[in-house]
Amino acid sequence: MVPEETSRLLDDDLLPLVAEAHQLAGRLHPILRDSIGDLVRSMNCYYSNLIEGHDTHPRDIDRALANDFSTEPRKRDLQKKAVAHIHVQRLIDTGRDPDAWPASATYASWLHKAFCSQLPPEMLFVTDEKTGKQLEIVPGEWRKRDVQVGQHIPPPHEDLPRSMSRFDAAYGSPPLTKLRQLQTVGAVHHRLLWIHPFLDGNGRVARLMSHALFKRLEVGTSLWPVARDLARDEARYKALLANADRPRQGDLDGRGNLTQRGLIEFSKFFLDRSVDQIRFMSGLLEPATLLTRIELHIEEEVRAKRLHRGSFAVLREAVMRGEVERSQIPLLTGYTDRGARNVTAGLVERGMLTTVTHRAPLRLAFPVDVAERWFPNLYPANAGSRI
């Protein structure tokens, strides 16, 4: 269940994981971090969908968040799943998840129930591939039948209480140290998928659990999702998962029933992908380069008369201070009150600024077309091509 303490392969990733995650979190104004968190949750949902074989276009996710759903049934169902995924991750990111330790049976059940509760009843069914029978998904409850996932045969359903009890005993907060818990995040991810406690939704639960576990260990934030790098190296991700499913390979391969070597290899891959994603987001969010990309984009929009001059000064203030007081916009733009209101209206209409009320300060927002310019390579060039 837990990688051997003597494995130095995992130690090499811990220092950059902790140091660079903390550096990324401290780079931005807290209010701006919250705004970027909305964008990252949508991105994480997109890549989690991709791992499940669903290439939901980022614009369709944006529309769903605005309660604008497709009339095409399959696309609408994927949009609803996206909204549910983002809802649960927002609860985690804002500290509104349970106090239970993320790597636990209780937390896994909560994740599954919280996700499924956002879906209409007609979506809580799966089709048995052998019989064609519709099987009901009960939110938060362990499966009541045996299943097969590709070549993997998870534990029989009657063994799930014992399997999840073992999961709790291995990964509960004590007695593992914080560094050992960080080493073990990949193992938690694999072992939950190996147990496959739910009839459907295990992949989403495992990825959300990993996100919550990193956050509880004070490494994860709303600024980076590991799902992006897992999806970008999906073939290796799934191959290493399958390799860790294998039985023990001789006396030197750990002491349990499953391969220790395979578990360590997957855990290292998981930590490697996490560090890589932190570095990718650090490069995108470095304030000076971010402002340069925003300025170049806004200059084009001003020349095309889609935005007013002075728009960049307002956005720069939002980047540096997290938000912009409306009373400061005339000073920032050099316009009278009326001209400043035109600048503000243009930015709000384009979705670059958002506000709770017409008097509240303005904060940055990131609709998909803007995100593609300000944060290059956030999504693949052919995003949504499978639909």
Over residues 336-372, the pLDDT tens digits come to 999 999 999 999 999 999 998 888 999 999 999 899 8
73-93 helix and 30-51 helix, angle to the nearest 10 degrees = 140
Name the more confident of 4 and 282: 282
Query: Is 16 within 8 Å of 275 (Cβ atoms)?
Result: yes
Q: Is the pLDDT of residue 226 over 90?
A: yes
Catalytic residue among 196, 211, 297, 308: 196
Written as six digits, the tokens of 130 are 């052998």
Of the ranges 136-140, 202-206, 257-261, 359-363, which one carries the lowest mean pLDDT score?
A: 257-261
Query: Is 261 within 8 Å of 293 (Cβ atoms)?
Result: no
Long-range contacts of 91-96 (CB under 8 A, 24+ apart): 92/208, 92/211, 92/212, 92/215, 93/37, 93/41, 93/215, 93/221, 93/222
Written as six digits, the tokens of 162 are 């014992």
Q: Is the pLDDT of residue 384 over 60?
A: no
Q: Is the pLDDT of residue 294 over 90?
A: yes
Q: Is the pLDDT of residue 385 over 60?
A: no
pLDDT at 52: 92
pLDDT at 386: 43
Topology at the third CATH level for domain 28-285? Fic-like fold (1.10.3290)
pLDDT at 2: 83
For residue range 84-98, what is the model confidence (pLDDT) as tens digits?
Answer: 999 999 999 999 999
**Second-level CATH architecture of 287-374:** Orthogonal Bundle (1.10)
- Catalytic annotation present for 22: no
At 334, the amino acid letter reads G
For residue range 103-153, what is the model confidence (pLDDT) as tens digits?
Answer: 999 999 999 999 999 999 999 999 987 888 999 999 999 999 999 998 899
pLDDT at 77: 95
What pTM, to 2 d.p., does this model score? 0.92
Around Cβ 27, how many Cβ atoms within 10 Å? 16
**Sequence ranges of the binding site for ATP:** 149-152, 200-207
For residue range 182-196, what is the model confidence (pLDDT) as tens digits?
Answer: 999 999 999 999 999
**Sequence ranges of the binding site:** 149-152, 200-207
Q: Is the pLDDT of residue 65 over 90?
A: yes
For residue range 303-349, what is the model confidence (pLDDT) as tens digits?
Answer: 999 999 999 999 999 999 999 999 999 999 999 999 999 999 999 99
Beta bridge partners of 362: 324
**Mean pLDDT of all residues belonging to the chain:** 92
* Residue 173's pLDDT band (cuts 50, 70, 90): low
For residue range 154-167, what is the model confidence (pLDDT) as tens digits?
Answer: 999 999 999 999 99
* Residue 387's pLDDT band (cuts 50, 70, 90): very low
pLDDT at 21: 94
Structural domain boundaries in the chain: 28-285, 287-374
At 60, the amino acid letter reads D
* Residue 251's pLDDT band (cuts 50, 70, 90): confident
pLDDT at 344: 96
Name the more confident of 172 and 135: 135
% the chain with pLDDT above 90: 81
* Residue 254's pLDDT band (cuts 50, 70, 90): low
